[in-house]
Chain A
Amino acid sequence: KQEVTQIPAALSVPEGENLVLNCSFTDSAIYNLQWFRQDPGKGLTSLLLIQSSQREQTSGRLNASLDKSSGRSTLYIAASQPGDSATYLCARKSDSWGKLQFGAGTQVVVTP
């Protein structure tokens, strides 16, 4: 069974610390991997998309890496701020027409 796992399920850090969020998938077949942010009661906001041919993507304070051989992706958020508090989800697509398979998310709280 293809699964996407996110560890930890919840994380609390003081403002200014760097955040490291992990995503792993059991099947190494990957077309792309997408990281999302979800605020309470809201939809999903796309943060970064990494194609299978890429090793990382960066946007501002966010950096996402992809290691296909180990079936892992990591989202780094530098110098965290209280506004970064949200649930972060990763989703893997195994081929161009395949469905997005989501992890359950990591709930992040950044305390002032």
Chain B
Amino acid sequence: EAGVAQSPRYKIIEKRQSVAFWCNPISGHATLYWYQQILGQGPKLLIQFQNNGVVDDSQLPKDRFSAERLKGVDSTLKIQPAKLEDSAVYLCASSLDTNEQFFGPGTRLTVL
């Protein structure tokens, strides 16, 4: 069974630029999550989708971050404009129900 796919794996941008990350969850998984992991910390949930509807986006900085999950499968997370403090690893995860979550390899973002 293929795991959660993410791209790109690495991205370096200047502050105030925009960036987008892509995630393809495990086939059949209705729930998709985006997490932000700052160096030395545990991941923090940014947004949770159930199919193509948003379940929780309470910790998403909506002035600069946006996410969508069209057709309830793939998802994209966008940052515009990026700030220095957005440097982190962005992890995508999916789950079949509300139980065990499976994570992708992540995208390491560096904002200069």
Residues of A at under 8 Å CB distance from B? 4, 31-32, 34, 36, 41-46, 49, 51, 89, 91, 93, 96-97, 99-100, 102-105
20 chain-A/chain-B pairs, Cβ below 8 angstroms: A4-B42, A34-B101, A42-B106, A43-B91, A43-B105, A44-B91, A44-B93, A46-B101, A89-B42, A91-B42, A93-B98, A96-B98, A97-B56, A99-B45, A99-B56, A100-B43, A102-B44, A104-B41, A104-B42, A105-B42
Residues of B at under 8 Å CB distance from A? 4, 6, 33, 40-45, 48, 55-56, 91, 93, 98-106, 108
Given known A44-B43, A99-B45, A104-B40, contact A34–B103 (CB-CB < 8 A)? no
In the complex, what residue of chain A is closest to B43 when comparing beta carbons? A102
Residues of A within 8 A of B98 (CB): 31, 93, 96-97
Which of B56, B93, B101: most chain A Cβ within 10 A?
Answer: B101
Contact pick for B55, options A42, A45, A51, A97, CB 8 Å: A97
Contact pick for A44, options B41, B45, B103, B108, CB 8 Å: B103
Q: How far is the CB of B109 from chain A (nearest CB, A)?
A: 13
**How many pairs of residues, A versus B, come closer than 8 Å at their CB atoms?**
51
Q: How far is the CB of A83 from chain B (nearest CB, A)?
A: 19
Residues of B within 8 A of A32 (CB): 99
Residues of A within 8 A of B42 (CB): 4, 89, 91, 102-105
In the complex, A41→B106 CA distance in Å? Answer: 8
In the A-B complex, list the 3 residue pairs whose CB atoms are closest, starting with the nearest. A102-B42, A44-B103, A99-B45
Interface pair B106/A43, CB less than 8 Å apart? yes
In the complex, what residue of chain B is closest to A32 when comparing beta carbons? B99
In the complex, A32→B43 CA distance in Å? Answer: 17
Residues of A within 8 A of B55 (CB): 97
